[in-house]
């Protein structure tokens, strides 16, 4: 059962989503462009007065101010949905690292550490014969070490 607060959020979310989609449409752009053209044409009629300038400045400032919040609300919801979908993919794949689930809650420093691991994984993958293989960091490292040991054994035998 939804509470009043949840229902209000739901209404605002729907409104924000619809407005942000509409604001990104060709119709919205053409409308804004038409308003600017009409405003520019009216310049000589109003003698390019301060009031004439104030109309466009005030209008664009108010619209921009409100749109920032609406678009951010819609973007936050979309971002959360993407994160949840990615978490589901990571959690459902038996070969992926579950440490990546909910990675967005890590600090930036922790994320940089994870980034270094993936950089290392990329370096190991470049040494692989096939670029189409995918491994977890630990698996790739173990496989690389096994190959290294075999190469060392082969070199030792050949000497």
Sequence-ordered list of residues with C-beta below 8 angstroms from that of 103, at least 6 positions apart, any chain: 111, 114
Structure tokens, 46: 């109003």
Q: Report the C-alpha gap between 120 and 141 in whole angstroms.
A: 9
Report pLDDT for 5.
52
Q: Report the C-alpha gap between 19 and 22 in whole angstroms.
A: 5
Q: Is the four-CA dihedral 109, 127, 143, 157 of positive or negative sign?
A: negative
SS3 content of the chain, % helix, strand, coil (to 5): 80, 0, 20
Report pLDDT for 55.
95
């190991």: which residue's tokens? 124
- Extract the residue ranges of the chain whose pLDDT is less than 70: 1-9, 128-137, 140-141, 143-144, 151, 159
3-state secondary structure the chain: CCCHHHHHHHHHHHHHHHHHHHHCCHHHHHHHHHHHHHHHHCCCCCCCCHHHHHHHHHHHHHHHHHHHHHHHHHHHHHHHHHHHHHHHHHHHCCCCCHHHCCHHHCCHHHHHHHHHHHHHHHHHHHHCCCCCCCCCHHHHHHHHHHHHHHHHHHHHHHC
**pLDDT tens for residues 18-54?**
998 999 999 999 999 999 999 999 999 999 999 999 9
Report pLDDT for 12.
87
Structure tokens, 140: 């790739």
């Amino acid at each position: 059962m939804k509470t009043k607060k949840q229902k209000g959020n739901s209404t605002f979310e729907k409104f924000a989503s619809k407005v942000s989609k509409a604001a990104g449409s060709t119709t919205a752009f053409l409308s804004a462009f038409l308003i600017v053209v009409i405003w520019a044409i009216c310049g000589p009629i109003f003698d390019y007065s301060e009031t004439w300038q104030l109309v466009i400045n005030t209008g664009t400032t108010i619209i921009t101010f409100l749109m920032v919040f609406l678009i951010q609300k819609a973007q936050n919801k979309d971002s959360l949905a993407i994160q949840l979908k990615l978490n589901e993919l990571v959690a459902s794949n038996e070969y992926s690292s579950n440490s990546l689930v909910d990675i967005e809650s890590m600090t930036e420093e922790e994320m940089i550490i994870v980034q270094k691991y993936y950089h290392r994984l990329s370096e190991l993958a470049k040494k692989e014969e096939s670029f189409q293989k995918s491994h977890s960091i630990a698996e790739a490292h173990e496989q690389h070490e096994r190959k290294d040991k075999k190469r060392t054994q082969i070199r030792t035998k050949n000497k």
